[in-house]
């Protein structure tokens, strides 16, 4: 985070801002270079090389991120400057926390945990969450508290890159890990429609509100930071849950 602040301070305030299409393309290039689908752990998952213990470790640790997403979105919601923006953003919280009588994404993730052989109790107690994951996720939530609201929104734009990954992941889990019950994949199926909607909203906001080159660069750095958060989680999971068969 300090690196990003230093880079911002060094920006030439007189640089011409990117056009809207140029700015959108610059944001998308971050994902092409840094999204966590390129991490060795993810590559191994997609090649069907992860053990059951590694899959369980990933699910248990990813829960800490999933439960923190609506906290992050609540922080952003509280800082949005208009009711129109808040009306759009609040759907993210409902998607994860659910409504009365309707399960949300966190409940769907708990069912994924049960389908890979974890108990609900051990997931909720965070028995398997490793320090690196906890530190990275907490850093992300704190980032959204400390940065201007539009920069916090920009950090969420990893959702631009997730729909294709999620569609691929569903097929891979069904093909390579058939021991995972189909009911455990509901979370991913729901995100196929939720993630594009969320990313469209966030991208529109970032393109609308980041008007100077300095603001645009700061948004790019926020997205890189979020990619680093996701990558760091996988670093920690990979180290804590090695494949003993290899």
The length of the chain, given as a count of residues? 246
What pLDDT shows up at residue 148? 97
pLDDT attached to residue 126: 98
> Hunting for tokens 């539009």 — which residue is that?
150
| pLDDT tens for the chain, residues 1 to 246 | 334 444 444 445 578 999 999 999 999 999 989 999 999 999 999 999 999 999 999 999 999 999 999 999 999 999 999 999 999 999 999 999 998 878 899 999 999 999 999 999 999 999 999 999 999 999 999 999 999 999 999 999 999 998 888 999 999 999 999 999 888 999 999 999 999 999 999 999 999 999 999 999 999 999 999 999 999 999 999 999 998 765
Q: Which long-range contacts (CB under 8 A, 24 or more apart) does 62-66 make?
A: 62/109, 62/233, 63/109, 63/110, 63/113, 63/123, 63/126, 63/129, 64/126, 64/129, 64/133, 64/134, 64/137, 65/133, 65/137, 65/233, 66/96, 66/105, 66/106, 66/109
Task: Identify whether the C-beta of residue 117 lies closer than 8 Å to the C-beta of residue 56.
Answer: yes
Topology (CATH) of 2-11+22-240: Heme Oxygenase; Chain A (1.20.910)
Tokens of 81: 């400057």
For residues 66-99, one letter each, b for 16 or more C-beta atoms within 10 angstroms of the residue's C-beta and e for the rest, the string is: bbbbbbbbbbbbebbeeeebeebbeebbebbbbe
For the chain, the structural domain boundaries read: 2-11+22-240
For the record, the structure tokens of 50 come out as 């992860």
Q: From 44, 26, 60, select the one nearest 134 (Cα to Cα).
A: 60
pLDDT (0 to 100) of residue 24: 97
């Amino acid at each position: 985070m300090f690196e990003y602040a230093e880079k911002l301070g060094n920006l030439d305030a007189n640089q011409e801002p990117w056009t809207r299409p140029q700015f959108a393309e610059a944001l998308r290039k971050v994902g092409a270079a840094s999204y966590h689908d390129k991490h060795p752990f993810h590559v191994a998952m997609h090649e069907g090389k992860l053990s059951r213990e590694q899959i369980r470790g990933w699910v248990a640790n990813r829960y800490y991120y999933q439960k923190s997403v609506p906290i992050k979105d609540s922080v952003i919601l509280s800082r949005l400057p208009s009711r129109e923006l808040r009306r759009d953003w609040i759907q993210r919280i409902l998607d994860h926390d659910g409504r009365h009588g309707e399960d949300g994404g966190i409940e769907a993730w708990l069912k994924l945990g049960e389908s890979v052989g974890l108990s609900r109790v051990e997931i909720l107690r965070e028995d398997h969450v490793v320090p690196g994951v906890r530190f990275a996720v907490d850093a992300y939530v704190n980032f959204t508290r400390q940065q201007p609201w539009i920069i916090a929104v920009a950090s969420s734009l990893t959702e631009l890159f997730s729909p294709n990954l999620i569609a691929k992941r569903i097929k891979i889990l069904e093909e390579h890990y058939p021991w995972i019950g189909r009911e455990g994949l509901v979370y991913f199926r729901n995100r196929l429609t939720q993630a594009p909607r969320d990313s469209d909203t966030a991208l529109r906001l970032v393109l609308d509100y980041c008007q100077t080159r300095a603001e645009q660069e700061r948004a790019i750095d926020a997205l890189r930071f979020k990619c680093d958060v996701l990558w760091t989680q996988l670093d920690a999971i990979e180290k804590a849950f090695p494949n003993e068969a290899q």
